[in-house]
Amino acid sequence: MNSLKNFVLILGTCFVVPTYCMVVQPFAAERNRQTVPYVMEDPGSGKAFDAPELKGLSYPQAFAGDRKRGEEIYARQGCAQCHTQVIRPDYAGIDQFKKGWGKDRGDAMVPTRQTNMWDYMHEDFAMIGQRRIGPDLANAGYRFDGTTAETDPAKVKAEKQRALNDFYLYLYAPRARREWSISPGYRNLFITRPKEGAGSELALKLPANLAPAEGLEIVPSSDARALADYVLGLKRDQPIPVSITGAKPKESK
C-alpha cells in the first residue's frame, strides 16, 4: 500500500460507510418525519384509539408565535452550554423522576414521560444540550406556569403576566430567585429606559439592591420576549398517539 490512490480509496471507504450510517441516514429520517394524527377508532372494533379530546389533532403540534425566533436566541445566547432538554429513560438517569422537571409542582413524585423523536421534529436543531449544569428544560413551560383555575378573564390574564414576569426576573437576575444559582444574568437582553406614566406592565419588579434609579424602568427587549415565548412553550408532554406507542386498546368505561 504505497500508492496515494490506494490509500485514498481505503480511507474513503472507511469514511463513507460510517458517514452514511451515523449522519446521512439519521438526517434523512428526521427530514422525512411526518406528524402523526390521533386516531379515533370505535372501541368495539378492538383497534387502537386515542383520547376523545384529541380528535382532529396531530402529534406533535407545530410551534406557535415567536417560538422559532426564540429557539434561535436560545442557541445564540449559549443556553445549551448548561441546559439540556431531554428526559431519558430510567436506565440512563433519574430524569423522569426528578422533582420539578415535568408537570409536577408539589412534593409528590410524579414521573415525567420520556422525550422522543417527534417532540423535536419542528426544530432546526434539537437543543438536547451539552452539559446539565442548570436544570433540564424539556418541560420548562411548567416551571413558569401561568395557567389557573380561575375563569375571570382579567384574573387569567394577570396570572399569565405574573408567570411571564417571573421568567424575566429569573433571566435578568437568577440569584434574586435562588441565591445559590450559578446561572449568569442576561442583562444584555433587557433595556433600561425612562418610565412613561405608570410604567410598562413588563417592567421588572426588582429587589432594592438591583433596582434602577428613580424614573427609570427595565423592560425585556424583543429578543427576551421571543425567548420567553420559546421557553414558556416548552411542554414536551403531549400525549403520544397509540399508533406510535403500540399500546393495547383501552377498555371502554
Partner 1 sequence: MSQEDQSALLVEVTPEEILQRAAIDRSTRLPVLFFFTSAAAWLLIATILGIISSTKQLVPGFLGIDWLNYGFSQPAFLNALLYGWAFQAGLGVMIWMMARLCRTELKNPITLVVAGHFWNAGVAAGVLGILGGYGTAMKWLEFPPMVWPILLVSYSLIVVWLVVMFSARRKGSVFISQWYILAACFSFPWIYLTANLILNVFKGTGVAGPAIASWYASNVLFLWLVPVGLGSAYFIIPKIVGKPIHSYQFASLAFWGLIALAPWTGAQDLIGGPIPAWMPAFSGAAQVLLLIPMIAITFNHYLTVKGSHKLVELSPSLRFTFFGSIGYAVTSVSAAVLSSMVMARYTAFTYVSDAVAITGIYMFFSMTMFGAIYFIVPRITGCEWVSGGRIRFHFWGSAYACITLAVVLLAGGFSHGAGTENWDSDMHDANVFSSGYLVGRILAWVFLAAANAVFLHHLALMVANAGRKAGGPTLIHPHAPYDEAELVITTEGAEA
| Residues of this chain, 59-88, that bind partner 1 according to CB under 8 A | 74-82, 84, 86, 88
Does 43 engage in binding with partner 1 (CB under 8 A)?
A: no
Instruction: Answer for the pair 205, 165: CB distance below 8 angstroms, yes or no.
Output: yes
Cβ proximity to partner 1, 8 vs 40, nearer residue = 8
The three grid cell numbers given for residue 130, joined into one nine-digit string: 451539552
**CA–CA gap between residue 127 and residue 51 (Å, rounded):** 29
Does 144 engage in binding with partner 1 (CB under 8 A)?
A: no
The contacts of residue 20 (CB under 8 Å, 6+ apart) are none
**CA–CA gap between residue 235 and residue 156 (Å, rounded):** 19
What x-and-dash track marks residues 92-111 binding partner 1 by CB under 8 A? xxx--xxxx------x-x--
Least separation in angstroms between residue 19's CB and partner 1 is: 6
Does 188 engage in binding with partner 1 (CB under 8 A)?
A: yes
Does 192 engage in binding with partner 1 (CB under 8 A)?
A: no
Neighbours of 141 (CB within 10 A): 20
Contact with partner 1 (CB under 8 A) among 36, 39, 126, 206: 126
Does 228 engage in binding with partner 1 (CB under 8 A)?
A: no
Query: Which helix (H) or strand (E) is 192 found in, with range?
Result: strand 190-194
Least separation in angstroms between residue 22's CB and partner 1 is: 5
The contacts of residue 42 (CB under 8 Å, 6+ apart) are 49
Does 14 engage in binding with partner 1 (CB under 8 A)?
A: yes
CA atoms within 13 A on the CB side of 247: 12
**Which DSSP state fits 96?**
G
* Range in contact with partner 1 (rule: CB under 8 A) among 20-28, 156-164, 203-211, 224-232: 20-28
Backbone angles phi and psi of 194, in degrees to 5 = -65, 140
Question: Could you give the 3-state DSSP secondary structure of residue 163?
Answer: helix
Does 145 engage in binding with partner 1 (CB under 8 A)?
A: no
Least separation in angstroms between residue 200's CB and partner 1 is: 22
| Alpha carbon 8 to chain centroid, angstroms | 44
Contact with partner 1 (CB under 8 A) among 46, 55, 61, 130: 130
Cβ proximity to partner 1, 39 vs 82, nearer residue = 82
Subset of residues 196 to 215 that bind partner 1, contact rule: CB under 8 A: none
Does 247 engage in binding with partner 1 (CB under 8 A)?
A: no
How many chain residues touch partner 1 (CB under 8 A)? 77
CA torsion angle 143 56 246 26 (round to 10): -70
Least separation in angstroms between residue 220's CB and partner 1 is: 15
Cβ proximity to partner 1, 1 vs 198, nearer residue = 1
Residue ranges in the chain assigned as alpha helix (H): 4-19, 25-31, 67-76, 153-172, 222-232, 242-245
- Taking every pair of Cα atoms in the chain, the longest distance, rounded to a whole number of angstroms, is 81
Does 117 engage in binding with partner 1 (CB under 8 A)?
A: yes
